[in-house]
Amino acid sequence: MVRVVAVVSLVLSALGAAIGIKLDGNGYTDLLIAINPAVPQNDELINQIKDMITSGSQYLFHAVEDKVFFKEVKILVPPTWKGNYERAKRETYDKASVFIDRPNPIFGDEPYTKQMKGCGEEGEYIHFTPDFLLDDDLLDAYGTREKVFVHEWAHLRWGVFDEYSEEEPFYLFGNNIEPTRCIKDIRGRNYKVTNGKHVHCPTDVATGLPIKGCQFFPDREQENSASIMYMQSLDSVKAFCGFMDHNYEAPNMQNKKCDYRSTSSVIFGSSVDSDALNTLQPLPSPPPPPTFTVIQRQHRVICLILDVSGSMKGERILRLQQAATLFLSEIVEEGAQVGIVKFSTNAEIVSPLTTLQGKESRDGLIRHLPKTVDGSTNMCNGLNLGFEVLKKDDGSTKGDDLIFLTDGEATDKVEDCLQSVVDSGAIVNTIALGPSASSVLITMANLTNGKFIVADQSLLSNQLVDAFTSFILSDGDPTKQAIQLVSIGKNTADWFNGTVPIDRTVGNGTTFTVIYEKSIPTVHIEAPSGRVYNQTHVTNHQETKTITLNIPGTAEPGDWKYSFLNIRAAAQTMTLTVTSRAARDDVNPIIVTAEMNQPSADGSKPMVVYAEVKQNRMPVLGAKVMATMESDTGHSELLHLLDNGAGADTLKDDGVYSRYFTKLKNGRYSLKVQVTREGGNIPFTPSRQGGSLYVPGYIVDGELQLNPPKPPVNVQPADVGSFTRIATGESFVVSVPPNAPPPNFPPNKVTDLSAEILEDTVLLNWTAPGEDLDQGTAGSYEIKWSEDLEVLQKNFSGANVLNTSALQPQEAGSSEQHQFLPDIPIPNGTTLFFALRSEDKEAVKSDVSNIARVKKFVPGPTSTETPDPGLNMSAVVISVCVGTLVVCLIAAVAIYVKKRQRNSGVI
């Protein structure tokens, strides 16, 4: 018990060693900004970053009630930059919160934030281009850089969304055309600009809204201080939109994603910092400027620390040899330094640091992989000797990598060396081989910014190979990465065959690796051109039962066919792993990353699986993405991930495929994602990420002053042919309390409900939820409507009911549609609001959906004479009210008066 308490105490005290933004008192620390290797060296870029964050710290401080500021910032420069930079510790490119990178083909130089998760949840990263930081011509349209940074920071840290909308720039409020904005008191005019000339916006007779191409031009001088998430470029804007100012009518992402709550309500009510922001006292004076550290990583230095205790005998040591051989021969990049340590009762250096320079150096390391096992599991001996190996290059372990593999509990006192592991500055990646591997592996990985991977010894699962294959270089240059195309196994008495598409983004260093259980199979691999590779072209490593085929040069794109014949009478297991690298230095390969939304779960909340498929930050759409979660206790789940903007998926067509993981059973789980896509152009209709608004111009002294036109982007659909990818994510832990009943999650909230009026009928569309969140089939729907948005927001149960008895829910993810004829006529000019919720077969209800708005607009002379919405609502109340006539009339008059007040701006 004492040892457990000691380890737990160390974990809690050393959590600060891990990478990630932290709020230390009133100051944010560990903000990591990374410059992509493709950006040429420019010291002025670093100066501009510092200026932006320094000024942004003051701006943020005043925007959030004088409570928080930026305290410590690190800037990670590329390895190729020359200068006297501090050595990076555990800061790696892929862990950065802000990237300075080439323009995203979709956004050009526009700053944006990648948000994969929901309202109030942290985003993934902020993206700035060098031109945005260096070109002052962009400042009129976007505002000063510090304002833009704070706008993006609110996306990233607090999970709020934009209060403007490029998809719906205007909406009808009563009889008035309103720009989509928050707050509504921002003054301006609507114009359409063509060839530098402007006209007042014509109205589309079909919709009553301004025609396409019309824009809202704000007055340069405003009296209002909000809102940063709408138009940060205005000089008067210094605050986030609060409850009293919030425009919940606007059809923007903030309202849609955050249930019509104001930005401030999310920041102070449900973001990662809400508790702190509500308890922190305002500082009596402005904070000091941030401290900046410019850091740099060099080539990788890696030490494999491998368990060779007695429990590693048999299949386990063989699997270790097979997986480590593939890692050393194909995955680690040229120029890296690699050493190997084995440990059991004692530890031994089996290979000192070796610089990888071609096949001979790699083969030398492979020959030193341990083959025999014996003794106990003294982890500290292995770790301490591994650190000695890492010091041999420059006397330090700072920023170096360990890959630590074990299959058992420690027989020594791990707490005796755990603090030294944290203090080393090394990144410790851990592999738990089998269900008995120590839980301290999770602690070590968490405290050192490493990965924790679970693997079993089964050859068929290929999990240990997948684990080693996931330890790729992460310096921001995907052309250097080894990419896993295929990982598949089969137990067969005859043929193991199939097809591997090699797409046009990869092809260099392509390797087919076959691991067999008993005897070498006959090999037949056929290139798209018909060229055949057979037994004479492969290398058979008999000791590790591995066949390797290295394709010379660049593998030709297309479908490669493989056939392996088991010539034994008895069945045996064979696995195939195919890896490749970018076809050329100027071609960005398709990359897949996989992760869970949290590293552990106790059954009270579902987990979410994410897989992002991209090429140079461009989303890859239309892929089939399958995720496998397999625990060390034998529980396995296969989920089809979707990019449909429903259920667990936050944004449709952003290249992030998601699904809830609801069948939570105890165990440590591996995560593996397989992505496939048939040939042809990749469709391009991506959803917009949250970003800063580009203002086309301002009204100054009554005159329109235009900003330079927003530079156009010319995005062409990628045509890479068919492709496959395999990605292994970090493992996670499910620990449901003993005797707790299985979780019964409700159907997921519908987030894409839409409505339209077709003559006298109303058509509703949405994506079907499931029985348990976004899986299975819900039991029933409950649909309500009102002419008052607030009714559905605050009193869903009291709103008008639609008859849904004939509406049978479809399977989760299906397109649902419900068309109905209202009981009463819908007068022209009427605005209706709809919302729904579903329930499962045990009557557990979902949250209320987003609220869909629709306005009946009939073109023609009558369209300009829309009845007062208060009168419409009164008529509805009278027609449906149940009770005495007097009560109904009183209710109708009250609603009418309220509507009149709102339309006149009284409330």
H helices present in 428-511, as ranges: 440-447, 463-469
Q: Helices H, strands E: what count in the chain?
A: 17, 49
Q: What is the pLDDT of residue 686?
A: 63
CA distance 718 to 683: 8
Q: What is the pLDDT of residue 880?
A: 34
Q: Taking the alpha carbons of 472, 475, 480, 481 in that order, is the dihedral positive or negative?
A: positive
Report which secondary-structure segment, H or E, holds 43: helix 43-63
CB contact at 8 A, 589 and 721: no
pLDDT digit string (tens) for 601-614?
998 899 999 999 99
Q: What is the pLDDT of residue 709?
A: 86
CA distance 860 to 630: 62
Question: What is the mean predicted confidence (pLDDT) over 236-253?
Answer: 93
Q: What is the pLDDT of residue 74?
A: 98
pLDDT digit string (tens) for 272-292?
999 999 999 999 999 999 999
Q: What is the pLDDT of residue 617?
A: 84
CA distance 684 to 152: 25
CB contact at 8 A, 99 and 617: no
Q: How many CB atoms lie within 10 A of CB 177?
A: 16
Angle between helices 415-423 and 379-390 (to 10 degrees): 20
Q: Which of 22-26, 196-200, 303-307, 428-432 has the lowest mean pLDDT?
A: 196-200
Please, how many CA atoms are within 13 Å of residue 189, restricted to the half-sphere of its CB?
Answer: 20
Position with higher pLDDT, 712 vs 595: 595
* 8 Cβ contact partners less than 8 Å away, ≥ 6 residues apart: none
CA distance 140 to 43: 24
Please say if the pLDDT value at position 8 is more than 60: no
**Residue 688 CA to its chain's centroid (Å):** 14
Question: What is the mean predicted confidence (pLDDT) over 594-603?
Answer: 94
Q: Any idea which residues carry the catalytic annotation?
A: 152
Q: Does domain 592-687+719-734 have CATH number 2.60.40.1930?
A: yes
Question: What is the mean predicted confidence (pLDDT) over 751-757?
Answer: 93
Percent of the chain with pLDDT strictly greater than 90: 77
Place of tokens 């060396």: 417
pLDDT digit string (tens) for 97-106?
999 999 988 8
Task: Give the pLDDT band (50/70/90) at residue 20.
Answer: confident
| Mean confidence (pLDDT) of the chain | 89
pLDDT digit string (tens) for 108-159?
899 999 999 999 999 999 999 999 999 998 898 999 999 999 999 999 999 9
Q: What is the pLDDT of residue 14?
A: 39
**Angle ∠(433,437,441) on CA atoms, nearest 5:** 100
Q: What is the pLDDT of residue 361?
A: 96
Position with higher pLDDT, 296 vs 714: 296
CB contact at 8 A, 809 and 775: no
CA distances from 217 to 231, 239, 242, 563, 751 (A): 11, 20, 23, 65, 31
Backbone angles phi, psi at 832, to 5 degrees: -115, 150
Q: What is the pLDDT of residue 226?
A: 86
Please say if the pLDDT value at position 902 is more than 70: no
Q: What is the pLDDT of residue 7?
A: 43
Report which secondary-structure segment, H or E, holds 533: strand 532-534
Is omega for the bond preceding 436 within 30 degrees of 0, making it cis?
no
Question: What is the mean predicted confidence (pLDDT) over 332-342?
Answer: 96
Q: What is the pLDDT of residue 828?
A: 83
pLDDT digit string (tens) for 642-657?
999 999 999 999 999 9
Task: Give the pLDDT band (50/70/90) at residue 16.
Answer: very low
Q: Where is mean pLDDT largest: 171-175, 553-557, 568-572?
A: 553-557
Please, how many CA atoms are within 13 Å of residue 682, restricted to the half-sphere of its CB?
Answer: 27
Q: What is the pLDDT of residue 717?
A: 66
CATH of domain 298-473: 3.40.50.410
Please say if the pLDDT value at position 882 is more than 80: no
Q: What is the pLDDT of residue 683?
A: 65
CA distance 755 to 854: 6
Q: What is the pLDDT of residue 826?
A: 81
Question: What is the mean predicted confidence (pLDDT) over 715-743?
Answer: 87
CA distance 326 to 172: 62
Q: Where is mean pLDDT largest: 298-312, 676-690, 816-830?
A: 298-312
Percent of the chain with pLDDT strictly greater than 70: 91
Question: What is the mean predicted confidence (pLDDT) over 827-846?
Answer: 91
Question: What is the mean predicted confidence (pLDDT) over 779-794?
Answer: 92
Q: What is the pLDDT of residue 410?
A: 92
> Taking Cα atoms as reference points, which of 758, 209, 606, 774 lies closest to residue 766?
774
Please, how many CA atoms are within 13 Å of residue 644, restricted to the half-sphere of its CB?
Answer: 22
CA distance 301 to 881: 76
Question: What is the mean predicted confidence (pLDDT) over 357-369?
Answer: 95
**Buried (b) or exposed (e) across 653-675, using 16+ Cβ within 10 A?**
bbbbbbbbbbbbebbbbbbbbbb
> Taking Cα atoms as reference points, which of 53, 251, 256, 44 lies closest to residue 152?
53
pLDDT digit string (tens) for 849-873?
999 998 887 776 533 333 333 333 3
DSSP assignments along 588-602, one per residue: PPPEEEEEESSSEE-
CA distance 350 to 307: 12
Question: What is the mean predicted confidence (pLDDT) over 716-723?
Answer: 77
The fold of 754-856 is Immunoglobulin-like (2.60.40)
Q: What is the pLDDT of residue 896?
A: 43
Q: What is the pLDDT of residue 714?
A: 73
Q: Where is mean pLDDT largest: 195-209, 385-399, 738-752, 885-899?
A: 385-399
CA distance 357 to 367: 16
Please say if the pLDDT value at position 893 is more than 90: no
Q: Where is mean pLDDT largest: 73-82, 104-113, 709-718?
A: 73-82
CB contact at 8 A, 630 and 670: yes
Please say if the pLDDT value at position 370 is more than 60: yes
CB contact at 8 A, 503 and 720: yes
DSSP assignments along 74-116, one per residue: EEEE-TT--S-PEEPSS--GGG-SEEE-SPBTTTBT--EEE--
CA distance 282 to 267: 16
> Taking Cα atoms as reference points, which of 291, 289, 400, 297 lies closest to residue 35?
297
> Taking Cα atoms as reference points, which of 891, 889, 897 lies closest to residue 798?
891
Question: What is the mean predicted confidence (pLDDT) over 343-362?
Answer: 96
HEC per residue, 289-313: CCEEEEEECCCCEEEEEEECCHHHC
pLDDT digit string (tens) for 657-700?
999 999 999 999 999 999 999 877 666 666 667 899 999 999 99
Q: What is the pLDDT of residue 1?
A: 37
- Could you tell me the two tokens for 589? 């390969």
